[in-house]
Structure 1
């Protein structure tokens, strides 16, 4: 048998009383040791056979698992640490048996019943509380306590119901102190021994001492953790009241109360060697909670800081004692925190202001001294605590030193920093915690910066340089200390860069030059010594800081510095570095990347200057660097950037050399020059074709937009059309040819509009589209294919624009002409093949909008408009049924009958403008059209079902409209609205969607439930006898129908509605009963039920559970029903 299975069997024996608890723990300990030794033997190691005596094995049966994480070792530091012993797997948690689950449920029921009974009694008492005297009130509370105590004794000694007795005794234990305190509150013991008298603390102590033996008796009787907690809490409260009764001051009280924890610790240590009862399990947790409570008192509420320091040190000693007794690591961690805080308070209050700046950093050294006597892994925790306290000491020394020195340097602060730095250097040598290696150079930096603070107390101009130099000092010193050699590079370099950044913000350009050169040298040194990613990082740093050196030098030397020129100087330095180190792949590459980037910055900065020659120089530099970088990295996209730079070069050159030209002609000239440069680049490098083309086309497009905004002449558009023609002529790819063609045709449409605007002010684009349509029929098939992609969307946009112009002009003839043109394009789109026929959707939309405008102009009445829309809808539906056999064609390319869909939309539009019976006619027509279309789409069953569902819902909406138009009695309206849902659900679930019986049952249950709920709410709100009669009649009909058809949904829904209807009608009889009566009834029922079941268990009476009886009868009655 395996260990976990054996432990489970032993647990069952213990629970059933065949095995004592101490024997169970001893055997489990032996099983765990045996399995551990077997694993060690399997690994080829010696077993740890502990031949302990019987008393020694029983001393600490519960501490084995807790002591295993503490690994002690006496191996010297130079030797490897031995592997810890494997921890045996924990025993599986035994599952609750049926009897245990039954007892748990009965306990919950009993507890709930007692709570309800208590609430009911309290409500009954408090409702008449004011009429009782003080003695009567106390006697009432005491009577309740006596009642619960008597019920507990009856349950335990007569009925032998342990769970019930425990519940009653808990309430008795709670009411005993309440009874005594209520007597004191009402001054039944005299004014001195009351809440407001001088003997109030004596009253509290007496109450605790009376409760203490009662709670201890119940603890021993029931072996209950709850009563063990009551006992310990009562003892702690009594001890506190006894201390307060002597009238000692607050700090002395906290000291004495904390010292009382030593008694609990001693009690735990003594009882651990003698017995292990239930209170021994609770005592460690209570001691921990009490220590936390006393600790909070000491920290939060105190009067004298010096006394608080001694209290904190005492608390630390108590935690250390708890660590020795309980073998828990957490207590020693708390010892570290409190001893550090206590020593800080002691130094703060006892030492002088200046001397404390040196003594505070020495506080964490105490932790290192204690760590020498600690065992195992706790040394690591002491070192971490030392680091954390040292960091806090640094903050304290800095804050206090600045306040004492009034912002000037302090020798005491310098000494404190040196102590902290030495501490962290020591930790760096003696621990593997990497954070310490970074804190050591940080505090060296702080000490170096404090030296500058002492030597130059009033000069803040050179603070950035001082920060950088201090970082350099930390870096240089760290190179001579092996553990912090690498971390000093990061820390010192970070502060060096911080000072460098501050010089940029001030700005102090000569300081920037110095720090940038230092950083450049630092980066060059490590670039030569590092490998891998680190070498790349330092190589990039060399380029960055060399640029800033050149930039800052330019800003400092140029009399009237221009930022773009200064950046250009940095760019030239990086370019020189690239050509000097071109063979060095890493450094040369980073120099080139940096030169490209900063040339872009210089180019962008040149837009802030007014000098054209500066923009020309920066643009040329940018274009040159982009060209060099593109050739180096062989990335063809860079030629597009070169082309963009040439755009600004040409722009600046034209402004410098050419006579003042208009901006429109300048942009057109630049577009022509970019076309030439595009051809040149294409000959130099074939891969530059696409990027250069994109930039040239973008420039040309910009010229088009600029002319569109500023020009109303024909010549610029003709020139732009010629340029697009050149691009079409020199096109290489089909996409390029199509784009140039379509853009040229669009620009040509603008030129055509300006040419014929005098004759056709509104119709010029429509005439242009008609000319394109005419040209379409005389071109070859290849050009027809190209032109088709343009003429279809262009004509759609033209029709949309023309419709808006005609509407605002209010011209009837133009609208009729437009409708005729719509039919022309509709015929053209229908003559196309494939998916092009879907373009007929847009003429259908424009036709509807045009007809709406015509109706507005002719001012037709709403009924007449509805009739016109109905006629148009029927007409287009007929056309669609003539042209298309089905609404949706699944196999061929003619997908959808848009004419039929448009007819449905037109009829719906007429419904939105109709009233009364014309509206009903439209809705009826929509329902018929939806049903007709559903028969034309049988290839897609889901769409057919959706259309049939919509047809049915529209029919239901028509029914509701007719109901609203007819004046029915008010009490019938709800029934007329909700009862048709039953028919609709039948048609949808069984005729349309053909759902499964299970789904139909769910739908039926939900729908019948919703209808029943609506009818019940309507009857409750109206509260009329006629509604009750109707609701009852419908409920009876549902019950009879469900009984005849054997459907549970109708039967139970009718039954529930009938019962609710009866309850609603009899509400005046049961609604006025006091609510505490319900609490008493519920509590008595729960207690009676739980007590009866416990009584049956004691007498051995067995009977099926209520659940089993209910399920058996349910299956007999309704097993065959739906």
Structure 2
């Protein structure tokens, strides 16, 4: 009984595959028949294209190859207008098919190997004895139907899949383990058989190869099944001790099958799969000895060496293109195999001789290949660089694993040894490509060594002699490279490493930090100055700049420690020496670069600071303040610049920086009046300096003098005015007086721009001071508003810089500041703001339009930004209004602002549109009438509907306007619909139905399909929603039945249309 079940199961399993084979055979045979039929049809088409109706006595040609006779001497008739067109894609009959012409034109019989026979000559017209009858009408081409073989193939595959699934889910569990293994092997045999049939019988090579690969893979699966079911005991299971031997056996069987298939399949991918199996077998063989991960890496490295050696042997005996079969891709396989094993050796981490030997072995192979390929150019040169890069990586890895450094010093020396080896190889008898690759990898090793030195210093808690030695070695290597190649990049790198080496050595000395900084500042300043005196072959601009920056950093750090520390005579002297050394460096730079001549006062600024520190901290008996020292310092440079004009141009940048420093050091600590001499002296210097200069330079000096004079006025107001707003208003008044005096002399355009900028900046400072106020500044509000009106009109009327935009923007924040910071009532602020906007805006409109033509502006117009920005500001105020009354007033003011654009013809329609929108909003926000809740939405939508209708009068009739109106009306209808759905009141639904009917009737009468559909659909949707309880009470099968009947009727209607 059990054997019967097993046999039945085997038959059940084998029958679908037999059916699949039969389906494939039938599909192939059917395809061959179809191709033959297509060939016969093409031949017949060629014959029909040449065939014509012959006269009664015309001779007949011999039989055509397809079995049809063709008349001769028919060329004249082909040129006649009545000749039928045989090139219109008519279908042709089969080889043994008979076609008959209509009776009115004569019946013509077509048969294989027969002449054309005329059966009814009496039907021909007597006036046209030679006119041939019309050819038989031929049906047009129809799309080819789905082939039966394709359907059978698809259905059969589905049956096979279903049979497999049923078998896997029902019968697999009851089979014994041995039978399961045999079954898997049977699958392999079935695939091999299918491959043989597909190759020898069906001649479908690709399918044959796919089946063969599946059969080979199932051999490996069969061996896995043996291990999984433990047929040879637990030792040879997938988790046993000899599992790798089991996997090796499966790999060997699969490889034997694959190599056996090389006689038929010689494709590159197939051969690559065969060769890849060798690497898998080697890995499993190595793992079967249980060598551990380090020994495994060494074993694969030996295997990679053997494969590479074999590839080199083959390539030296023959060229790659001359190698037969699978050996042709063996060199490429060896390369990929080598790189994969190299990556594995790097991934397998560890220390000791074993893993180091693997890394050295791979490094030697890559070095051999790189030096061999480097003799050629092109791609070989690129491969040479890749090989040598991997050689460097493997070399460093091998050295690190062999030494296994436990201290930072050992790690540094290990990396240094790798750098030395690379440097020696580079200077050896190698080709140019190899030398370039070795130089690049040497640079990478040097970078690693440099980072290692830094990390070692962090790990050891300071600088060490080992780091100093390695830094010197690295500097020596880079110096030799720079001397050899002499390019800017290497020269700059040499300067960088020299600076790093010197810094390391200086800070390694057993001295205090201040002495370290002093020595470093003197050394780097001296190196720069010495380089300017002596022609050093490796000097570079980058190195000189680096030395200067390092000297500045050391001097600045020493200066900071001297000023901010406890203070001592030696510390001040060291700081002064560092500052002087850096100043000498800067002075040398100013001789070379013209713009840097103004940097010398900044470089020497540390000297008066040190003097101030000494006088105030250490001595304190001379009664000299810091302001006198800084003033003397500035006067010295001013006199120097006045006497030697071509020597040093200090300029406004340096003076501004010095005055700013004096302001921060003096103004905040010693009182405001102390800064007045700086402003007066600086202003006098600029006036004197402006004589004899060109016009632009003189104007800059005069502007600077004015700015300093205004700063002096601002400083002079401190003893008399306590509020910053008041002081700044005084400065603004002084500037206005200067402007009025100069207006009488008709100043140049540059002066107009200067005064406009001055007015705008000072007014912005006034308003910022007002916004930061706490209460007393409120008394200055009228003066601030008057200043705004004057400054805005001035910058708007005469300026092309759009500075009135800044003044308007900073003023529009005033209502928020009054409410939030000064706690003034909102209604008072709203009333005052609206009044100011209307009055000031009306005065502006009385003189200018909101947009005026102005060639000085880039767009060609000058905008009144106060009124332009007032509209969005009013909308914001309307949103945040304290009540509906003020919201209504703000919207009305916004309407007035929008109507300002109506004076401009191009913007007139947009202005009316915006004003209409605001009018609708004003109707919605009006506080005077409260509508009943039932009709509130409907009443609110009436002005919106009127506004939408009026858009056509403003913009005219057009397609886009019609679409826009439709969208807006649709939104109104949607609002009514949502309201009816939300309130669920019958009255709202009836109102909506009435509106829809009021729209539907005229739409149908006027044949407006769009609104007929919209209104009718809305009415129907509302009716269905209102009666939703009834529709939900019906069972779902009724809807399904209705849908099914509808689909059937739709299909029947389409079929009737086709007939």
Q: Normalising by structure 2, report the TM-score.
A: 0.68
Aligned to 1:614: 574
CA distance in 2: counterparts of 1:715 and 1:922, whole angstroms: 51
Residue in structure 2 matching 1:360, options 300, 315, 321: 300
Q: 1:638 aligns with which of 592, 596, 600?
A: 596
Q: 1:1014 to 1:678 in 2, by over 3 A?
A: same
Corresponding residue number in structure 2 for 1:386: 337
Aligned partner of 2:981 among 1012, 1016, 1020: 1020
Within 1, Cα distance between the matches of 2:796 and 2:402?
93
Residue among 303, 311, 317 paired with 2:239: 303
Q: C-alpha separation between the residues in 1 aligned to 2:628 and 2:836?
A: 54
1:993 and 2:920 correspond: no
Q: Distance in 2 between matches of 1:413 and 1:823?
A: 83
| 2:576 is the counterpart of 1:647 | no
User: 1:271 is matched with which residue: 173, 190, 198?
Assistant: 198
Change (3 A) 1:474 1:324: farther
Paired with 1:848 and 1:491, the residues of 2 have a C-alpha distance of: 63
Which structure has more relative contact order (CA 8 Å, sep 6+)? It is 1
**CA deviations over 1:881-923 (Å, ceiling 9, x no partner):** 5434x44333699956689779989998997768566865675
Note if contact 2:360-2:395 (Cα within 8 Å) is conserved in structure 1. yes
- CA deviations on 1:529-559 (whole Å, 9 max, x unpaired) are 437xxx4333333323333333333233443
Structure 1: gaps of 5 or more residues:
1-13, 29-96, 100-160, 167-217, 403-409, 1105-1122
Conservation of the 8 A alpha-carbon contact between 2:184 and 2:222: no
SS at match of 1:889: strand
| Corresponding residue number in structure 1 for 2:548 | 596
What CA distance in whole angstroms lies between the structure 2 residues aligned with 1:1001 and 1:289? 73
Question: What are the equivalent positions in structure 2 for 1:360-509 lying under 5 Å apart?
Answer: 360-365=300-305, 367-368=307-308, 375=326, 378-379=329-330, 381-395=332-346, 398-399=349-350, 402=351, 410-428=352-370, 432=380, 433=383, 434-450=385-401, 452-453=403-404, 461-477=409-425, 479=428, 484-507=434-457, 508-509=463-464
For the pair 1:624 / 2:584, whether they are aligned, the reply is: yes
Deviates more, 1:847-856 or 1:322-331: 847-856
> Are the aligned partners of 1:509 and 1:553 in contact in 2 as well (CA < 8 Å)?
no
Find out whether 1:701 has 2:643 as its counterpart: no
Does the alignment pair 1:349 with 2:349? no
Partner Cα distance (1:1043, 1:789) in 2: 66
Q: 1:1037 aligns with which of 998, 1018, 1034?
A: 998
Task: Note if contact 1:904-1:926 (Cα within 8 Å) is conserved in structure 2.
Answer: yes
Question: Counterpart in 2 of 1:70?
Answer: none
**Partners in 1 of 2:790 and 2:467 — Cα distance?**
72
Is the CA contact (8 Å cut-off) linking 2:909 and 2:954 kept in structure 1? yes
> How far, CA to CA, are the matches of 1:26 and 1:649 in structure 2?
108
Residue of structure 1 aligned with 2:500, choices 548, 556, 572? 548
Is the Cα–Cα contact under 8 Å of residues 892 and 919 in structure 2 kept in the other structure? yes
From the superposition, tell whether residues 1014 and 898 of structure 1 become closer, same or farther in structure 2 (CA, over 3 Å): closer
* Aligned counterpart, 1:793: 760
Tell me the distance in 1 between the aligned counterparts of 2:332 and 2:706: 76
Alignment match of 2:715 (pick from 751, 755, 759):
751
Pair 1:369–1:975, CA change in 2 (3 A): farther
2: distance between equivalents of 1:496 and 1:840?
59
Q: Distance in 2 between matches of 1:906 and 1:556?
A: 67
Shift of 1:744: 0.9
Secondary structure of 2:932's aligned partner: coil
| Separation of aligned partners in 2, 1:620 and 1:15 | 101
Cα displacement (A) at 1:1040: 1.6
TM-score of the superposition, structure 1-length normalised? 0.65
TM alignment of 1:796-945, pairs within 5 A: 796-797=763-764, 800=767, 808-809=775-776, 818=783, 822=787, 825=790, 829=794, 833=798, 862=827, 875-876=839-840, 878-884=842-848, 886-890=849-853, 895=862, 915=883, 920=888, 923-924=891-892, 927=895, 929-930=896-897, 933-938=900-905, 941-942=906-907, 944-945=908-909
Check conservation: 2:583, 2:600, Cα contact below 8 A: yes
1:718 aligns with one of 677, 685, 707: 677
Distance in 2 (CA, whole Å) between partners of 1:515 and 1:1025 is: 94
In 1, the alpha carbon distance for the partners of 2:283 and 2:266 equals: 27
CA shift, 1:726, in A, is 0.9
Contact map agreement 1:229 1:286 (CA 8 A) in 2: no
Q: Which of the pair is proportionally richer in helix?
A: 1
Rounded Cα–Cα distance in structure 1 between residues aligned with 2:386 and 2:845: 82
Q: What CA distance in whole angstroms lies between the structure 2 residues aligned with 1:576 and 1:458?
A: 44
Instruction: Provide the alpha-carbon RMSD of the alignment.
Output: 5.4
Contact 1:473 1:492 in 2 (8 A): no
Alignment of 1:70-219 (within 5 A): none
Max Rg structure? 2
- TM-superposed deviation, 1:730: 0.7
Which of the numbers 905, 916, 927 marks the counterpart of 1:952?
916
Deviation at 1:253, TM superposition (A): 7.1
Q: What is the CA-CA distance between 1:418 and the residue it aligns to?
A: 3.0
Aligned length: 866
- How big is each residue's C-alpha offset from its partner over 1:460-485, in whole Å with a ceiling of 9 and x where there is no partner? 53321222123212432463565744
Partner residue of 2:1014 out of 1053, 1063, 1067: 1053
Q: Distance in 1 between matches of 2:612 and 2:891?
A: 70
Q: 1:567–1:601: 8 Å Cα contact kept in structure 2?
A: no
Change (3 A) 1:422 1:554: same
Partner secondary structure for residue 506 of structure 1:
helix
Q: Secondary structure at the match of 2:201?
A: coil
Give unmatched runs, 5+ long, in structure 2: 1-27, 43-88, 92-142, 229-236, 315-323, 374-379, 458-462, 563-570
| Mapping for residues 770-781 of structure 1, pairs under 5 Å | 770-779=733-742, 781=745
Residues 196-249 of structure 1, C-alpha deviation per residue, up to 9 Å, x if partnerless?
Answer: xxxxxxxxxxxxxxxxxxxxxx9x572535743653785699699988765439
Contact kept in structure 2, 1:468 and 1:497, CA below 8 Å = no
